Amino acid sequence: MNLKKSLVAVTLLFSALILASCGNSSNTSSSSNSKNGTSTSSTKSGSYQVTGQTNSSQYAGVIKNGKYLTSKSRGVTVSQSSGNLMNLKSFEAGLQDISKNEFSTSKYIFQEGQYLSSDTVKNWLGRKSKSNADGLNPASNGSTTPTGRNPIYLQSMEEQDYVQKSGSKLKLSGITIGLAMNSVDYYRKTTYGAEYQTNISDATLEKEGKAMAKEVLARLRKKKGLENIPIVIAVYKQASNDSLVGGNFVSYSINKGNSIEKWKALDIKNVVFPLKSDESAPNSNDSDAFSNFKSEVENFFPNLSGVTAQAQYKNGSLQGMNVSVTTQFYSETEINSFTQFLADQAEKYLPSGVKIDITVSSTTDGVQSFLSRSSTAKSFSTHVFESY
């Protein structure tokens, strides 16, 4: 449960306060926790609340005894994905997006995964071996050459629970599992030796992911409480470690029964602007628009360091852009003027009708300002980070 014993006393002190503090909370059944200050509360009789929803496209999250209910496998995913943190962000956010197809944010509450423990996930992510019969990755074939060896296909996995209010309790109503598959498996022959890589084709990645999904579904159905709920399983392709954008989901299935029912293919592509010379964007208008924007912006100040963007396409059409502007140190008045200038130029040049975020960071002083426009808004809202 990740409750540090030393915090329990504090927890108990403040739990009454917290129970009274959540506007959206209808699950504030009185707590039956042990009050001796040493035992952590039991799952069965704990008191639940939910966070507010700051907007209706976000899930409310589960608070238990005043603390956020963290994942039972917290940390495993992170350490597995540390090669490229953008994979982790894109994997988790993308998995929630897929979940929204089946579990609407108005009816379901998000709960960090409670059914797969760290140990379970670690075993599943390992190679199959005598000591690890549960390993989803193939047994070693003895080879250590990039093309001869059996690669690690499954790099990371995540469980997301979707729960609903039921009287004074929260009832599990669905689970989503994401399988993050390597497009490149990085490995070393000795602990501190050189890094080698085995490339994995899209076809192989998808085939292996779907096979693992079948096995994962079968295992989950055997767990108490998971026999009959909908289980969504999604296969994600991790970006390589040198990518400036995360990977993307390739396929998912919604399963009510014991075997995978049907895979739905996803056509999602992430690109980084400016494009490299050998790359192309699904829509060249977007890369031209970005180039024009970049030129205007780079020309504005003597010492601008860089303007790049992540863009995501779904079925060939642009979904949104995250623009990063990196600057030298600018004074407060310069940042103010620059931010207003960016709003003008972004409105003029960047594609309309999609969500656009622009973050201005200084190389020495972190995030300086920030602009954002939703897909339906016309103009950007801006914020300059200030200090008294």
Site for a copy of itself in 179-238 (CB under 8 A): none
Q: How far is CA 52 from CA 26, 45, 175, 221, 235, in A?
A: 11, 22, 21, 32, 30
Compute the least distance from the CB of residue 131 to a copy of itself, in Å.
Answer: 29
Q: Which is nearer to a copy of itself, 221 or 269 (CB)?
A: 269
Residue choice 28, 123, 164, 336 for contact with a copy of itself (CB under 8 A) = 336
Residue 44, number of CB atoms within 10 A of its CB: 7
Task: List the x/- string, 111-150, binding to a copy of itself by CB under 8 A.
Answer: -x--------------------------------------
Compute the least distance from the CB of residue 22 to a copy of itself, in Å.
Answer: 6
Q: Is the peptide bond before 151 cis (omega within 30 degrees of 0)?
A: no
Residue choice 38, 141, 259, 387 for contact with a copy of itself (CB under 8 A) = 387
Task: List the x/- string, 357-386, binding to a copy of itself by CB under 8 A.
Answer: x-x-x---xxx--x-x-------xxxx-xx
Q: Which is nearer to a copy of itself, 47 or 198 (CB)?
A: 47
Q: Do 343 and 371 touch, CB atoms closer than 8 A?
A: yes
Residue choice 40, 186, 301, 308 for contact with a copy of itself (CB under 8 A) = 301
Q: Which is nearer to a copy of itself, 210 or 236 (CB)?
A: 236
Compute the least distance from the CB of residue 65 to a copy of itself, in Å.
Answer: 10
Show contacts with a copy of itself in window 72-111 (CB under 8 A).
74, 77-78, 85-86, 88-90, 92-93, 96, 110
Q: Which is nearer to a copy of itself, 221 or 355 (CB)?
A: 355
Compute the least distance from the CB of residue 108 to a copy of itself, in Å.
Answer: 14
Q: Which is nearer to a copy of itself, 135 or 320 (CB)?
A: 320
Compute the least distance from the CB of residue 32 to a copy of itself, in Å.
Answer: 19
The verdict on 24 binding a copy of itself (CB under 8 A) reads yes
Task: List the x/- string, 261-300, binding to a copy of itself by CB under 8 A.
Answer: ---------x---------------------x--xx--xx
Q: Which is nearer to a copy of itself, 200 or 323 (CB)?
A: 323
Show contacts with a copy of itself in window 235-254 (CB under 8 A).
245-246
Q: Which is nearer to a copy of itself, 134 or 357 (CB)?
A: 357
